[in-house]
Structure 1
Amino acid sequence: MLIYNTTFQVDDEVHDNFLIWMKESYIPEIENHGTLKSPRICRILSHRDDGSAYSLQWEVENSSLLHRWHLEQGVRLNEELTKIFKDKVIGFPTLMEVIE
């Protein structure tokens, strides 16, 4: 089992809209695709004063399925994120393997 994590750094001015978009659009659309499962969104606790950070985690069976999802849906959703929030939200992905 793999965990596909995206960490988002979110400017204060778009914070509320970002969370609404994530919960009402982004996460449901990914769930409908069926490849990524069990979403979990976490606030990253930090001592920074500028903006907020979130971790969105998904379970995925293997890297081949993740690659297919990325080509079929991930690229388009990333473009949509950039179109809506421009440079006010920046995300970077991490792929992790569950060992226990």
Structure 2
Amino acid sequence: MSMILYNITVNIDQEVEQQWIKWMKEEHIPSVMATGIFNDNKFFKLMHEPHDGGVNYSIQYFTDSMEKVYEYQTKFLQAHQEDFQKSFKDRYAIFRSLLQEV
């Protein structure tokens, strides 16, 4: 069985960056992990100079099957997206990707 990585890249406005990091570490990531879908996570800052007023981060969630990813998307994703939007409306852009270990 291969590892599945659910990667979320976020460009967050520098004005709310520290508040967002605190929220991610104390609320959002623990909420995602509490679903039981993912068995590990990593939180990285991309190493480049921002040119657009935003800073990029990668939040990585690891699981062992696509079925679990689909379960997350079906049962939990909408609520997490709504919470994210409510907390940081118009202060971010998100790009999601799924990767499979080879």
Shared fold, TM over 0.5: yes
2:13 to 8, 11, 14: 11
The residue that corresponds to 2:29 in the other structure is: 27
Which structure has more helix as a fraction of its residues?
1
Q: How does 1:45-56 map to 2 (within 5 A)?
A: 45-49=47-51, 50-56=53-59
**What does the per-residue CA deviation read over 1:29-56, in whole Å, with 9 as the maximum and x for residues that have no partner?**
1111111121100001123232210000
Structure 1, unmatched stretches of 5+, are none
Structure 2, unmatched stretches of 5+, are none
The residue that corresponds to 1:89 in the other structure is: 92
How far apart in 2 are the matches of 1:91 and 1:71?
19
Q: Which amino acid aligns with 1:46?
A: H
Q: How does 1:55-66 map to 2 (within 5 A)?
A: 55-66=58-69
1:98 to 90, 97, 101: 101
How far apart in 1 are the matches of 2:67 and 2:39?
15
Query: What fraction of aligned residue pairs are identical, expressed as a percent?
Result: 25
